[in-house]
Every structure is written in structure tokens, then in C-alpha cells.
Amino acid sequence: MPVHNSEIAAMFDHVADLLEVQDANPFRVRAYRNAADTIRDQSRSVASMVEEGEDLSELPDIGEDLAGKIGEIVRTGNLPLLDELSEDVPEAIVEATRIPGIGPKRARALFEALDLGSIDDLKTAAKEGRIADIEGFGDKTEAKILEELERGDITERRFRLDIAEDFAEPLVAWIREIDGVDRAEIAGSYRRRKETVGDLDILAAGEDGGAIIDRFTEYDEVEEVVSKGKTRSTVRLRSGLNVDLRVIPEASWGAAMHYFTGSKAHNIEGRRRAQDRDLKLNEYGIFDGEKRVAGASEEEVYDAIGLPLIPPVLRENRGEIKAAEKGNLPDLITRDDLKGDLHSHTDASDGKNTLREMAQAAQDLGYEYLAITDHSRSQTQAGGLSEEDLEAQIDEIAGLNEDFDGFRLLAGCEVDILDDGRLDFPDELLEKLDLVVASVHSKFDLDEDAQTRRIIRAMENPCVHIIGHPTGRQIGQRRAFDVDIERLVDAAKDTGCVLELNANPIRLDLKDVHCRMAAEAGVKIAISTDAHSTGGLGNIRYGVDQARRGWLSAADVVNSRGWSDLSRMLRR
């Protein structure tokens, strides 16, 4: 049974979580985190590399010990170390570390002090006022914990888009090879490119639904067949991802794709428009009485209700139907519009590759430029550069640029925004750079006003060009810190500062609705990967998907310009 890169990475991340709760050596914890990142960044299947006899220890941050553990996972699907650690640390403690402000040590202290066994027990303890009595916590922390648990998304089972993709694409490719399947596509929130996916909806066109369903349930990653009929089946994969397959006739393909892509609110508006025309719209087609008048393609469906085809990423009932009606749908940005990436790291800080390797990878992607933005000195755990280190890197980049033809490395820095809004490096140094990305990496617990003022003060510094990952969120791991996005957008407009859409699928920060808010205010966006390796540069496509969901066109995105135009835009 094949093991996906995301599964191996998740095991290593889980090991790191458990070690952290046990207060293990931080270098050991970091080793597993780095290894997980390396595995996620591989464009090839790591399992295939093992089967072909490749030496995984040659990969960044994968030594002989970790290479051996990867081989063990590939051969057995299991990691004994993970089982050993799980016996000592309840999973609920790891889940509790996802509550903002509750790190591994505090989570363990909570569960041991109150003899808790689950997240539900923690919630009950917060409601009963027992947390406030524990030394080091108090009423305020107790209220915050209860607030987070009441939201319900700490343990909600959703898959990040990139992880869902790791399982979805091989599955749909396999379905297309089943005898009798004319075509197959993934619909639902996955097709709308939402940042997380609850389950997968797959449609297959074919005549013999029973035979197709029989074959589908034999997929080697199916752990449980939840339901099985002649035209529909639901299964749960080994990963925990639920998959619905529906077999439909070719004549209903477009109507079914429209219906099962959603969103529900978008579909309701579509049905209303059909009713206004004395038509009925459902997953089988558009009907005039009993006669099907459209439905073989989505273009037919939209045409029948008086609209042009609306891209799936816009189908959220956020004004797209009215815009389509008036001919005002945006000309959405595409990957080909991007000329470069404005946020990346090298092995000078916490990246995995050299300057030259990052430059070559960017050129392989067809870019005209790549900004090197290693961390500043406050990020000691990420190998932040000293002033002297950054000066030396500026000189090294200048030397490398002499070797390039039609490509340029930009000398930059991801400089920390300190808790009072000052920057981690003096202006005299920052003025020597082509680009400055200013980011928050600490003090996430400031109140909304203080956090907002902190970032705005950084924006007001003319050395700053871009605000990196503006809300600090990490999907499924850390909620966005409290910040007034509208005030940030207003400040960006006033100062000419650019807001980043961080394309790393764990961040996708800004959110889609905030991208649209910024663009409507005339604020420019930078779609950047925050890549820590050559493979990480490929995450740009997730940022483009998010930008498209935010109604962005190429004109809204600064790195759709060549360097000469971009350099003029960035002048403060």
C-alpha cells in the first residue's frame, strides 16, 4: 500500500509534538520538524525514492537515522517510536497545544493538575472554573481557553488543501483508469480551492454504475466502505478522508458538476434564476417541464439562466452572480502572470538550500527575480542573521547577479516587527536592501489595538515594502492573532505598503475575503511562498488559488510586474 509524503511528514510532526510535550531536547524536536518540512517539499514520492534504492540521507535535514525511519514507514506503514511516545503522552494534550497561548509545558501542567483525559474534560474544567485555581493560569487564561474551545475548531477534522490534494489526485487518476469511466473530476470545496477540505466529492461519467462502484471500493487506500449503491458510494480512506463517488450519465455532466461544486448559497441563487425563467435546475440538468434543455456542460447550465460561466473559485455567493449578470467578472490572475517571488529563505537562516540553488530553482520556474529574505537577528531559533551576516549576504548576492542573464536575486530581509512596532535592524542597514518584508513572529497575545498599532508603526517606516503573513495564522495549528484588518488596509493605502498573501498552504495569509478588501481599497498584494527550500517555491500555486478566490487580477499583484516596474512601485 503506497505511503504518501504527507503521511510521513505528519508522523514526524506528531513525533515532534509529543517530544515537545515531554520537554525533550529542542534540537531533537527541531530535527523532526525540519525532516517533515523536507518531505513535504519533495515533488517526488519519497516512498518511490526508497523503493528505487535512493539514499534519502542526502536530502536536506535527513540524516541516516531519519532516513532509516522513513524506510521503516514505507515498508510497514508504521513508526514504532511514535507508538512509544503516544503511550506516554495523551493525544488530548497535543490538541490542547493548539489553543493560542497554551504551549506544550502549560498543556501538560493543565492535564496533570486536573487529571484530565480529553479535550471535553478540559472544556468542562473551564466551565466549572477549575483552571483559574491552577498556579500560573488565572481567570483571564481560563476564559480564553473556554472561548477557543467553544469555537469548536481545535479538534475539527478538516484537511489542509495541500494534504487533501496528496490523496485526491492519485485517487481521481486511478478512477479515470476504471473500465467504463469516460471521465472523472473532483467537485466540492476542493474544486473551489478552499483552504481546507472536509471531504471529497468525485463525479465519474459512465453507464455501468454498479461495476464502477465495485471497482472504486477496491481502491487500496480504502479503510471502510461506509455505503455502497449502484450509482453512489462513500468510503473512508486510511488517512481519515471521506470520499463520495457518484456515477452520472454524460448528458448530466455539466449540471452535476455545477451542483456538487457548490457552494450551497451559490446554487440556491442559480435555482432561483432558473425558476424566474420557468425552468428547474438540479443535478440532472435544466428542465422545461419534463424536457431536459441543458446540462451536458456547465456553460450550458449558466447560459440557460442568463449568465456566463462563473469560475469555481468565485462560487461563494459573494456578489459573483450580480457581477456576471453585468459582465463585470474579474479577469482573475493566473500562475503565468507572476514574474517572481518576493519572500524566500536560504541556509543562511532556517532554509535548506544555498543562494545559488534557490536562484536556479527560481529560474527553472521561469521567474525574472527572486527575493532572498532570511530572518533578522531576533529569530535566534531560526538562525536569524546578524547585521554583519546580512551585509555579507548583500555582497554575495551582488556577486552572484553578475553571473545571471535575464534573472536577478533581490537582496532582502524578513525583519521582525518588535512588540512596540520598531524593526529588528536599523534603517541604515535596511536602506541597503532591494526589499524589506516586515513580519510579526512573537507576542501573538497582544490585544487587537496594540497588535494593530504595532504593525501600522512598522508600515510607517519607509524602509518597509511588504508586511509578511499579516495575521500570523497557521491553519489547524495557530489561530490568527487579534488584529484589525480594516485598519491595516487603510494604513497600507496611506503608506503605500504592500500586504503579503503568503502562499505556504499552512498559512494562506491573507484570507481570500481580506485580499478582496485590500484590492477594493487600492492596496497591492504580493503573492509569495515564504519558501524555505527549492521545493517550497512550488507552493506559489496555492497562493494563486487563494488570490483568485479573493477576486484578484494581475493588476492587483505587485509581482506580476517585471523588476524595473516593480522597483518603481516599491519606492516609498
Q: What is the pLDDT of residue 156?
A: 61
Residue 279 has pLDDT above 80, yes or no: yes
Give CA–CA dist 249/296, Å, rounded.
9
Residue 140 contacts residue 117 (beta carbons within 8 Å): no
Give CA–CA dist 474/160, Å, rounded.
10
Q: What is the pLDDT of residue 483?
A: 94
Closest Cα partner for 507 from 467, 466, 469?
A: 469
> 464: which residues sit within 8 A by CB, 6+ positions away?
415, 423, 430, 436, 438, 458, 497, 572
Q: Which of 47-51, 93-97, 544-548 has the highest mean pLDDT?
A: 544-548
Residue 90 has pLDDT above 90, yes or no: no
For residue range 337-353, what is the model confidence (pLDDT) as tens digits? 999 999 999 999 999 99
Lowest mean pLDDT among 53-67, 313-327, 512-526: 53-67
Q: What is the pLDDT of residue 98?
A: 77
What is the pLDDT of the chain when averaged over all its residues? 93
Helix (H, G, I), strand (E, B) or coil at 68: helix
DSSP letters, 118-158, are SHHHHHHHHHTT-GGGSTT--HHHHHHHHHHHHH--SS---
> Mean pLDDT, to the nearest integer, of 314-321?
96
Question: What letter does residue 367 receive in the DSSP assignment?
Answer: -
Laid out side by side, the sheet with 199-205 consists of 183-186, 199-205, 242-248, 232-237, 222-228
The upper half-sphere exposure of residue 182, i.e. CA atoms within 13 Å in the direction of its Cβ, equals 12
Give CA–CA dist 25/34, Å, rounded.
15
Residue 512 contacts residue 546 (beta carbons within 8 Å): yes
Domains, the chain: 5-88 (1.10.150.110), 91-151 (1.10.150.20), 159-248 (3.30.460.10), 253-325 (3.30.210.10), 335-570 (3.20.20.140)
Residue 504 has pLDDT above 80, yes or no: yes
494 vs 97, more confident: 494
> Mean pLDDT, to the nearest integer, of 165-181?
96
Question: Tell me, what amino acid is at 552?
Answer: L
Phi, psi of 193 (to 5 degrees): 60, 40
For residue range 353-386, what is the model confidence (pLDDT) as tens digits? 999 999 999 999 999 999 999 999 998 888 899 9
> Mean pLDDT, to the nearest integer, of 523-534?
97
Q: What is the pTM of this model?
A: 0.88
Give CA–CA dist 228/280, Å, rounded.
29
For residue range 131-160, what is the model confidence (pLDDT) as tens digits? 988 888 888 888 888 888 887 666 567 899
Lowest mean pLDDT among 54-68, 151-165, 196-210: 151-165
Lowest mean pLDDT among 67-71, 137-141, 162-166: 137-141
Residue 116 has pLDDT above 90, yes or no: no
Neighbours of 568 (CB within 10 A): 9
Residue 115 has pLDDT above 90, yes or no: no
Give CA–CA dist 339/327, Å, rounded.
28
Q: What is the pLDDT of residue 2?
A: 75
Residue 167 has pLDDT above 60, yes or no: yes
Q: pLDDT grade, residue 1 (50/70/90)?
A: low
Q: What are the beta bridge partners of residue 60?
A: none
